[in-house]
Structure 1
Amino acid sequence: MNNEVQTKKPETNMEPLQKQVRIVGNLLGEVLKEQEGEAIFDTVEYLRTGYISLRHKDDPQKRLDLMAYIETLDEHTLKQVTRAFNTFYVLSNIVEEDYLHRERRNLYKQDDRKLWQGSFLRTVDEIAESGISAEDMQRIIDELRYTPVFTAHPTEARRRTMMTLQRRIFLIIDQLNRDELTSEERGSLQNQLKSQIQLLWRTKEVRLNKPTVEDEVRYGLFYFQASLFEAIPMVYRYFERATRKVYGSGKINIPSLLKFGSWIGGDRDGNPFVTPAVTRNAIRLHMQEALNEYHCRIVKLRSILSHDIEYITPSAEFITSLKADEAELKEFISKRKTELFENEPYRQKLDYMAHRLNANFLIVRSYISGEKADMSSGALKGTYKEVTEFLNELYLIRDSLISHNDQYIANRELKDLIRLVETCGFTLYKLDLRQESTVHTRTVTEVLKQFTPDQDYETLSETQRIETLANLISRVNLPKPNPESLSAESVEALELFDTMEEMRAETGDSIFGTYVISMTHTASHVLEVMFLARLAGIVGTDADGKPFCNIQISPLFETIEDLRHISEVLTNLFENPVYMELLKVSGNLQEVMLGYSDSCKDGGILASQWNLYNAQKQVIALTDSYGVKCRMFHGRGGTVGRGGGPTHEAIISQPPDTVHGQIKFTEQGEVLSNKYSNTETAVYELGVGITGLLKASQSIVKKHGKYADNYLQAMADIAVSGEQSYRDLTDNTEGFQDYFYENTPVTEIGQMNIGSRPSHRKTDRSKASIRAIPWVFGWSLSRHTLPAWYGIGTALETFRKEHGELLLREMYQKWPFFKALLSNVQMSLFKAQMDIAKEYSNLWKDKKRSAIIYDKIAAEYHLTVRELLSVAQIDNLLQETPLLQYSLERREPYLDPLNHIQITVLGRHREFISKSEEESPWIDELLLTINAIAAGMRNTG
């Protein structure tokens, strides 16, 4: 297999990329011949070359012939052909990732400050050129807090085994591009590459069994092992280097501004498998990972810091600490080590630190295994009670090294470890908890029946609910609910809050992020959570009569209607003195989460994006007026239809003056593996995110001001028109939901082993029932990509006919929000293929209705392409991003046969289950096609 598709090349030198893709394609072809025989290889080549020719010149008869040929293939052949295309995509994705990394390296070697968009050096230089002084830059940086939050989603179905194998392939490919290689070394590396491709071919791509939540937790931890433990210190080094080059040495201090969050093991909204026990275990697995990494690095430091007492004078504070260690732990350290490090104080100190970390590790491991730790054991003596104790000892060593002029030594491995610990703590990342508002309402209703039997909470007005909850939260003494008269749901809801208090005591660390309430409609939904926290002792009054609050609550506004009422909900909260008092004692920071996925599914992308934009402005204006700090939490998905798109552009396109240094957002689906499978890419992705936040936060020292009123009014008009068009299709078109379920693999996605959470809230065929992830995933796989663009064509055309096009073109050129929106939509339009979507539309037996709906979708697609190209003043989609355009063009001929194989397999699977109650033999092949198409499209969910 090779890559001879002739596509329009961007101006960037693509020859190295083409050459490397050709090499891996040829090696894969050799593996296919050797492992599977000529017949499979010939079938793959016949389909590959056939669909390539259709991309050059469409031939309806040839397309029918190719589809007929696929229909003749047996189960084994279809599976192997699918695997071959999937493997090629995996390999070409790795090649492309390495190519982009090397291009960035080449730019950096040129020692030019104008590096890539989003690089630290270019960003800091541009901000300095705009007039921001070192003092003002420090003010901005001191407020920065960049928090990616990992979530588990079924669009990423790869196994950790495969990801480890792909990392090895990445490293070999990167080595192959070194100019100094001899012919023998190059030949040896190519042999290594071929052996890894053989392993790739021989390894099962997807899980045999449905993943548990613990599997998903371990999956999230993989990225720390694979890249983040190395990437985090590197990000800080690049940032520091940039500020030194631009502002001078010693002018700017970079604090630890990067934090990580997770929903894996904490997100129980719609996932019955996330229990309090699972949450406890997730936290312990996080701790185990962090402690193990720190222990390894301390041991490594012990081998490095070989200073002899004859040549140095450590600081007095260091000597005092070392003597305290000796008094407490010397009897538990082997005599051999004591003698070995007798004259090497830093090694002595690090040995005691390694002992303490290991004691913490052993205790955590005992919790995970369910075995009670023997606290009398010497191995468990001297544990760190909290992460600050460990950090202070690292600072102590650093300061002591600097005191005897060893700052260069202090600023290497030791500083990297300090950065890691400051970023990750003992718990690696903050675990957010999420539950749906109705669960809390039902629990509070049941609890209050015990407290006030004569009052029915469910019948109270919103004002009465707020008053009732505030009074209860303020009470000094509250009785404990009797679990025997509560439902199982309420008992579990209460147990979660008890778990929060238990784990805070166990870990000695700030382990939880925020408690997210999905489907927040009213202020009482927030106070209900505060009341349940009060029952568990997380909120209350201390012995001195002072209030305390050890929980942060983040209301999540998801639907279009919720976004429009966000000010009302927050105003009712901030007007409540009980809530405001608790907010102030917990840090006076209100986090607000915005849901991209459900709002887009609900009202279409234009209404979603515009209401999100306005909601942010309202929230910031409101929090400012009440003197409350605010952090926006963006629930972005992988695709444009779920809020996805380049992180840097997404952040700088936020409403002006609404980003005040902090931002938090979800990293979902295959976005995780695309960003964090390799250290080199992880450093880049974290960098462009932080620099986007840096740019957007300049309002801390210099206000931007709002964009022109005619821009805002035009967007408001477009959003209304787009929402009407989208709802006309999804809510008012007869048979639309049947079209979706019959003509996409969405039903089958819910049956497969690619996620622990159910794909539906209910069992009916409705837009409200299905979750946003399978909604987008189904449309993506069937090449409609409908949620990311439907309604935009009608909206732009309507506005153009009434007001002309000049304003729209000006908005595209001068308004980052509008530019980012239409740029992201271009990618989704490019990935849509109406000819393939039409083939999927034939799956529904009601051909007449299916054709009517398809024609409506296709007409809007073509209208959207025309209108968008006209507004952007370009000739074809993605013209302004030639590398992305080239990458996607190169993939298309290989996606076509995969889609047609999936259509064939879907038909066979559905026919089988209509006649038999046995498990379908086609499920595995369907999962393979899903995996392969996702690999080819790169972001499908």
Structure 2
Amino acid sequence: MGESRTVQEQEATRPLREDIRFLGGILGDTIRDHEGPEVFDLIERVRTEAFRVRREEVERSAVADMLDGTPTEVAIPLIRAFSYFVLLANLAEDIQRDRRRAAHVSAGEPPQDSSLAATYAKLDAAALDGATVGELLTDALVSPVITAHPTETRRRTVFDTQAKITELMRVRRRLEPGDPALDDTELRIRREVLTLWRTALIRLARLRIQDEIAVGLRYYDLTLYDVIPAINAQVRSALRARWPEADLLPRPILRPGSWIGGDRDGNPFVTADVVLTATGQAAAYAFARYLDELVELEKSLSQSARLVQVSPAVAALAAAGYPDPAVFADEPYRRALHAIRARLSATAARALGELPEHGLDTGAAPYPTPQAVLDDLDAIDASMRASGDALLADDRLAALRHAIETFGFHLQGLDLRQNSEVHEQVVAELLAWSGAHADYLGLPEADRVELLANELRTRRPLLGPNARLSELATKELGVLRAAKQAIDTFGAAAIPNYIISMCTSVSDMLEAALLLKEAGILDPGSAEATPHSPVGIVPLFETIADLGAGAATLGAALEVGVYRDLVAAAGMRQEVMLGYSDSNKDGGYLAANWALYRAELDLVDLARKTGIRLRLFHGRGGTVGRGGGRSYDAILAQPAGAVRGSLRLTEQGEVIAAKYSEQGAAHRNLESLLAGTLESTLLDVEGLGTDAEPAYEILDELAARARAAYARLVHDTPGFVEYFRQSTPVAEVGDLNIGSRPASRKPTSSVADLRAIPWVMAWSQARVMLPGWYGTGTALEDWVAGDPRRLAQLTELYRRWPFFRTVLSNLAQVMAKSDLDIAARYAGLVADEQLRTTIFGMIRDEHARTIRMYLAVTGDTELLSDNPSLAESIHNRFPYLEPLNQLQVDLLRRLRGGDDSELVKRGILLTMNGLATALRNSG
């Protein structure tokens, strides 16, 4: 693949190759100096041989033979070396992307798709009217929701050092040879690389949820706190300039969320205390940043009353600023800001139970809401503009105003999530204890719905203060009462949603509502007031069957009067979450993607009929097997009407670092979410027109064939689960200290009960990538059946339809990162030779078939013809994966053979982290 690159492509990527060689050389020098020449020489021999394998100069066994029998204590520095090679290659690639983008702009070329500049140009060309835009963007929201991932174990020191190296490399590129600053910069890079080498890459102890909460908040420090409000302000300004009459985006469109500390589906470690920790630490971060900014503003806004005239509102604030009127007597803005800081300090102390750093203990009255803070800051802003100081107002003051408007007192919304089976058990227990019904679990669905609806209409609680409940019920109610406390303390936005996993029925939705009522969150209303809840009830449809029935389930819920009233009280807004991971695990890649599309079509139709404002929450993983891929393309691939200005999606931990650890990358990723949302909302992007139904029928057939092919392997082949457990490190994902969450929802060896993260992660580590492609080749081949006309139909769909093009493009990304020769080494871990031969043979045949059919449909000559940057990435980094995979197989064999030493376990964990770093959105 890499060998077919053109001379032009090679020249364009020359700076990238130079950066990789430079950083690799420094890392090599560091290893030689601190590990000794023998270790360095071994690493160099392995690296050289790995590149020869990639160039097909030697057999694949060359690296394996060289590493065979390597003592564990020698294997550890080898693993660390190749993990750091990959990490530094990632840095070089990120810098190259920035370099290429800057060159694109300086050449005066049109803005690239997925940028807001390109989106604005498309909107201008469409000549939309303000009334239509205003309607479509009512209650607009784009919400990236951060989740945890077991491979996200890197420590803060590693992140900080990466950031320093990235900035120093940018400085180095700007310096000329002979400049003394160049030598100094390269010396500083060497220091940072040494710091990396001397720092443990990962933690040894199992991550606690509290650690994951801290990791999630780290990204606000790195990028999100600064980038999100700035983009919000820019988008609002750009849209209002185009449609001034529409008063667009009265609330910031980008509002982030989190699952870390609220997602208790299968995670017994999420407790009431954890919910309070997650919401409390997020709020503490927000207050600390606001107070820091107020301190800086007090220093900088030194305008004198002798030189400027302030508004009466600012004068009143200034009068309350200091007890002593002589302090900054003629500097009204400083005094006003001091008054704001005093009140915000009191607000923080009341909410957090302690006074933050830079807080003032003056006895000032707390602010009741974030809007009250904004009102005071807006008064300062208006006064400054009136006196001609807009240039100053547009700096730090504007940034603080935008931040408070975006983050409030809560910083991010924490979603709660639990499995419907748990709700069912707890509700049954509450109803039995209260005497409302002794055998709820024995009721048919219609009777359950009637009983729950009646209970939701009454203010009577089910429990008294002396109720004696099971541990499960006590814990579940404790979590919801903690959520109530967070809402009361930080505002309703602190806990925006309650997500019901494996939602299959109306009663599943009403059970969640009843638990919210019991915790005091849902108000059942009265004769004068309708029921309402600040927390939205969000059904999560996950399996293929549940996705197919999703619209019917929601439609039936809307026919229940009390639930319809709850939706009406929320402005007719109803959110629905779509599960990419479990649907994929259930039915395979193509069937899951099509089931999701069909579910969206049905839900859009339901929204049209019922008048609800539908918001879809996409449970996308970072990996393609869990719904990953380029976010911009994925948004454009949604059915018409599925976005309508409103979109939430999970940003999974395995790719958060790549997306949000550096300001430029964070800005680009968030911009692409907004660009895709605006285009999908305001433009016709589906591209099928009157040919939609015939295209849907073709995909119906393809999906059915793909699901059948997937089921033959995963669900119907005897011994498949055993093959999976032996040929991948999935067992070790559960046994080693990886992440806070158990690998399975409950003790079982069933694929159905295995969590999607370890399912996808294990196949990725073994370089099979099965969840991202299996079954698609058979579906395409069987449907085409050698008929050129049918092949031409698929080719035309690929050209015209963003959904089909995105599905195949993501498949190609995954398959390009797969390596069945390496996968064969993992298959060798399976003890049963017949089982190994049967299942790996099926995988190898389908792999070849899928590549063949992909190339036939797209007309490409290789997998990544449409993605040359990824092709270059694979060319640069994959030789570093070779030894990591080979060593992982060897260490797994040792562990399973009885060597359970800490060093072996640490080596396996290091290989997992290194491979995930290298595979990025496939690891």
Measured against the shorter chain, the TM-score band is over 0.9
Q: Which amino acid aligns with 1:487?
A: S
Instruction: Determine the C-alpha separation between the residues in 1 that align with 2:181 and 2:306.
Output: 46
Match of 1:183 among 162, 179, 186: 179
**Corresponding residue for residue 923 of structure 1:** 905
Query: In the alignment, is residue 897 of structure 1 matched against residue 883 of structure 2?
Result: yes
For each residue in 1:437-475, what CA deviation from the matched residue of structure 2 results, as whole angstroms up to 9, or x when unmatched?
111111111111123366411111111111101111111
Answer with 532-541 or 272-281: which moved more: 532-541
Query: Does structure 1 retain, via aligned residues, the 8 Å contact 2:314–2:332?
Result: no
Aligned to 2:618, the other structure's residue is in SS state strand
Query: 1:457/1:77 Cα in 2 relative to 1: closer, same or farther (>3 Å)?
Result: same
Structure 2: unaligned runs, 5 residues or longer: none
Instruction: Determine the C-alpha separation between the residues in 2 that align with 1:656 and 1:459.
Output: 42
Instruction: Determine the C-alpha separation between the residues in 2 that align with 1:555 and 1:181.
Output: 61
**Corresponding residue for residue 13 of structure 2:** 14
Query: 1:250/1:475 Cα in 2 relative to 1: closer, same or farther (>3 Å)?
Result: closer
Query: Does structure 1 retain, via aligned residues, the 8 Å contact 2:73–2:903?
Result: no
1:187 shift after superposition = 1.2
**Corresponding residue for residue 735 of structure 1:** 719
Within-5 A mapping of 1:338-353? 339-353=326-340
1:243 shift after superposition = 5.7
Q: Which amino acid aligns with 1:912?
A: G
1:621 shift after superposition = 1.2
Q: Which amino acid aligns with 1:853?
A: I
Query: Does structure 2 retain, via aligned residues, the 8 Å contact 1:656–1:704?
Result: no
Query: Does structure 1 retain, via aligned residues, the 8 Å contact 2:686–2:802?
Result: no
Query: 1:408/1:109 Cα in 2 relative to 1: closer, same or farther (>3 Å)?
Result: farther
For each residue in 1:387-436, what CA deviation from the matched residue of structure 2 results, as whole angstroms up to 9, or x when unmatched?
11112112111111122222222222211212111111111100100011
Query: In the alignment, is residue 86 of structure 1 matched against residue 83 of structure 2?
Result: yes
Within-5 A mapping of 1:125-274? 125-133=121-129, 136-137=132-133, 140-141=136-137, 143-179=139-175, 183-236=179-232, 238-239=234-235, 247=242, 255=250, 256-274=252-270
Query: 1:483/1:782 Cα in 2 relative to 1: closer, same or farther (>3 Å)?
Result: farther
Query: Does structure 1 retain, via aligned residues, the 8 Å contact 2:232–2:253?
Result: no
**Corresponding residue for residue 803 of structure 2:** 817
Within-5 A mapping of 1:273-672? 273-323=269-319, 325-326=320-321, 330-331=322-323, 335=324, 339-366=326-353, 378-379=361-362, 381-452=364-435, 455-481=438-464, 484-541=467-524, 545-547=528-530, 548-672=532-656
Query: Does structure 1 retain, via aligned residues, the 8 Å contact 2:346–2:355?
Result: no
Aligned to 1:147, the other structure's residue is in SS state strand
Q: Which amino acid aligns with 1:303?
A: K
For each residue in 1:456-510, what CA deviation from the matched residue of structure 2 results, as whole angstroms up to 9, or x when unmatched?
1111111111110111111133342466432110111122222222222222453
Query: Does structure 1 retain, via aligned residues, the 8 Å contact 2:89–2:877?
Result: no
Query: 1:905/1:875 Cα in 2 relative to 1: closer, same or farther (>3 Å)?
Result: same
Query: 1:870/1:367 Cα in 2 relative to 1: closer, same or farther (>3 Å)?
Result: farther
Instruction: Determine the C-alpha separation between the residues in 1 that align with 2:684 and 2:113.
Output: 22
For each residue in 1:75-128, what CA deviation from the matched residue of structure 2 results, as whole angstroms up to 9, or x when unmatched?
12111111111111111101111121232233334455x122111111101221
Instruction: Determine the C-alpha separation between the residues in 2 that align with 1:794 and 1:220.
Output: 40
For each residue in 1:362-404, what CA deviation from the matched residue of structure 2 results, as whole angstroms up to 9, or x when unmatched?
44553799xxx9x9x9445432222111121121111111222
Query: Does structure 2 retain, via aligned residues, the 8 Å contact 1:430–1:513?
Result: yes
For each residue in 1:769-810, what CA deviation from the matched residue of structure 2 results, as whole angstroms up to 9, or x when unmatched?
211000000000000000100000000001111662010000
Instruction: Determine the C-alpha separation between the residues in 2 that align with 1:826 and 1:474.
Output: 52
Instruction: Determine the C-alpha separation between the residues in 2 that align with 1:270 and 1:307.
Output: 57
For each residue in 1:671-728, what CA deviation from the matched residue of structure 2 results, as whole angstroms up to 9, or x when unmatched?
1101100011101110011000000001699999565222111111100000000000
Instruction: Determine the C-alpha separation between the residues in 2 that align with 1:435 and 1:873.
Output: 45
Query: 1:804/1:100 Cα in 2 relative to 1: closer, same or farther (>3 Å)?
Result: same
Query: In the alignment, is residue 852 of structure 1 matched against residue 838 of structure 2?
Result: yes
TM-score (norm 1): 0.93
Answer with 629-638 or 403-412: which moved more: 403-412
1:69 shift after superposition = 2.1
Instruction: Determine the C-alpha separation between the residues in 1 that align with 2:275 and 2:655.
Output: 24
Q: Which amino acid aligns with 1:50?
A: E
For each residue in 1:724-760, what CA deviation from the matched residue of structure 2 results, as whole angstroms up to 9, or x when unmatched?
0000000011111111100111111112222111011
Instruction: Determine the C-alpha separation between the residues in 2 that align with 1:726 and 1:71.
Output: 35
Query: 1:249/1:24 Cα in 2 relative to 1: closer, same or farther (>3 Å)?
Result: farther
Query: Does structure 2 retain, via aligned residues, the 8 Å contact 1:157–1:206?
Result: yes
Query: 1:234/1:545 Cα in 2 relative to 1: closer, same or farther (>3 Å)?
Result: closer
Instruction: Determine the C-alpha separation between the residues in 2 that align with 1:121 and 1:714.
Output: 36
Query: In the alignment, is residue 75 of structure 1 matched against residue 72 of structure 2?
Result: yes
Structure 1: unaligned runs, 5 residues or longer: none
Answer with 473-482 or 562-571: which moved more: 473-482
Query: In the alignment, is residue 52 of structure 1 matched against residue 38 of structure 2?
Result: no
Query: 1:857/1:257 Cα in 2 relative to 1: closer, same or farther (>3 Å)?
Result: same
Instruction: Determine the C-alpha separation between the residues in 1 that align with 2:242 and 2:224.
Output: 28
**Corresponding residue for residue 36 of structure 1:** 35
Match of 1:120 among 116, 119, 123: 116
Query: In the alignment, is residue 881 of structure 1 matched against residue 867 of structure 2?
Result: yes
**Corresponding residue for residue 834 of structure 1:** 820
For each residue in 1:885-922, what CA deviation from the matched residue of structure 2 results, as whole angstroms up to 9, or x when unmatched?
11112212121111111111111111125xxxx65531
For each residue in 1:144-191, what CA deviation from the matched residue of structure 2 results, as whole angstroms up to 9, or x when unmatched?
311000011113221222111111111111211225686211111111
Q: Which amino acid aligns with 2:174?
A: R
1:228 shift after superposition = 1.3
Instruction: Determine the C-alpha separation between the residues in 2 that align with 1:450 and 1:649.
Output: 51
For each residue in 1:554-587, what CA deviation from the matched residue of structure 2 results, as whole angstroms up to 9, or x when unmatched?
0101111111111221111111111111221133
Aligned to 1:555, the other structure's residue is in SS state strand
Query: 1:125/1:712 Cα in 2 relative to 1: closer, same or farther (>3 Å)?
Result: same
1:763 shift after superposition = 2.7
Query: 1:105/1:254 Cα in 2 relative to 1: closer, same or farther (>3 Å)?
Result: farther
Query: 1:453/1:58 Cα in 2 relative to 1: closer, same or farther (>3 Å)?
Result: same
Within-5 A mapping of 1:745-824? 745-801=729-785, 804-824=790-810
For each residue in 1:21-70, what CA deviation from the matched residue of structure 2 results, as whole angstroms up to 9, or x when unmatched?
1110111111111111111111111111112112212543xx33432221
Over the matched positions of the two proteins, sequence identity in percent amounts to 33
Instruction: Determine the C-alpha separation between the residues in 1 that align with 2:79 and 2:603.
Output: 48
Q: Which amino acid aligns with 2:102?
A: R
Q: Which amino acid aligns with 1:799?
A: W
Instruction: Determine the C-alpha separation between the residues in 2 that align with 1:702 and 1:819.
Output: 11
TM-score (norm 2): 0.95
**Corresponding residue for residue 26 of structure 1:** 25
Query: 1:135/1:406 Cα in 2 relative to 1: closer, same or farther (>3 Å)?
Result: farther
Query: Does structure 1 retain, via aligned residues, the 8 Å contact 2:455–2:514?
Result: yes
Matched residue count: 915
Query: 1:39/1:729 Cα in 2 relative to 1: closer, same or farther (>3 Å)?
Result: same
Query: Does structure 2 retain, via aligned residues, the 8 Å contact 1:563–1:612?
Result: yes
Q: Which amino acid aligns with 2:331?
A: E
Instruction: Determine the C-alpha separation between the residues in 2 that align with 1:241 and 1:455.
Output: 59
Q: Which amino acid aligns with 2:674?
A: I
**Corresponding residue for residue 918 of structure 2:** 936
Query: 1:473/1:833 Cα in 2 relative to 1: closer, same or farther (>3 Å)?
Result: same
Query: Does structure 1 retain, via aligned residues, the 8 Å contact 2:492–2:534?
Result: no
Answer with 257-266 or 918-927: which moved more: 918-927
Q: Which amino acid aligns with 1:25?
A: G
Q: Which amino acid aligns with 2:19?
A: Q
Instruction: Determine the C-alpha separation between the residues in 2 that align with 1:476 and 1:410.
Output: 50
